[in-house]
Amino acid sequence: MTGARVPPRVRLSTVPALDATDARLIRALTEDPRATVMALSQRLGLARNTVQTRLARLEAGGVLAPFDHRVRPEALGYRLGAYVTVQVVQRSLADVGEALAGIPEVLEVTALSGVADLLVRVVATDADDLWRITEQVLAIPGVQRTDTALALRRLVDHRVAPLLDRAAGPEPAGDA
């Protein structure tokens, strides 16, 4: 690998649960991502140190995704998206996952139950580029079979706002 930063693995069991205050804080950040700690503390009626401490805990716990999740691949010339399901020799899952992380066009890899072992989200510049990427995936030792589905249109973009609204509960009296 060429020194690319590989994000730490986030295990679902280690992500801390949010309380209503955390949910309100993240919802406020979602509405104004550039808000300062002071602005957030004033908006939420919390001490500045409380906001700072909670944000640090949320970042360290893997609750907040890295900033690069906000960059759309289309802006970088990757206009074609696809989902590749991969069947893997079971003892090779970790090695295959590591090899997939070395392919820049692989955005996300999720282990599945069922017939397919992995769901791999990839981007490509065009159909020929997707072919090249698929060939790279097939060349990984331990990969038995792949199946590729093109992403035609995103009907619901990634979101958690409705879940944050539910977790945050009703707005406290006096908030605007």
Strands (E), 90-129: 106-111, 118-124
Structural fold of domain 71-151? Alpha-Beta Plaits (3.30.70)
**Residue type at position 21:** T
Please answer whether residues 84 and 148 qualify as being in contact, where contact means their C-beta atoms are separated by less than 8 angstroms: yes
- Which pLDDT does position 15 carry in this prediction? 76
* Top-level class of domain 13-67: mainly alpha
**Where do the CATH 1.10.10.10 domains begin and end in the chain?**
13-67
Which tens digit of pLDDT belongs to each residue from 49-106? 999 999 999 988 888 888 788 889 999 999 999 999 999 998 999 999 999 999 999 9
Which tens digit of pLDDT belongs to each residue from 3-59? 444 445 555 567 778 899 999 999 999 899 899 999 999 999 999 999 999 999 998
pLDDT, average across residues 154-160 = 90
Q: How far is CA 5 from CA 14, 57, 106, 117, 122, in A?
A: 21, 22, 14, 25, 18
- SS3 label, residue 10: coil
Please answer whether residues 43 and 28 qualify as being in contact, where contact means their C-beta atoms are separated by less than 8 angstroms: yes
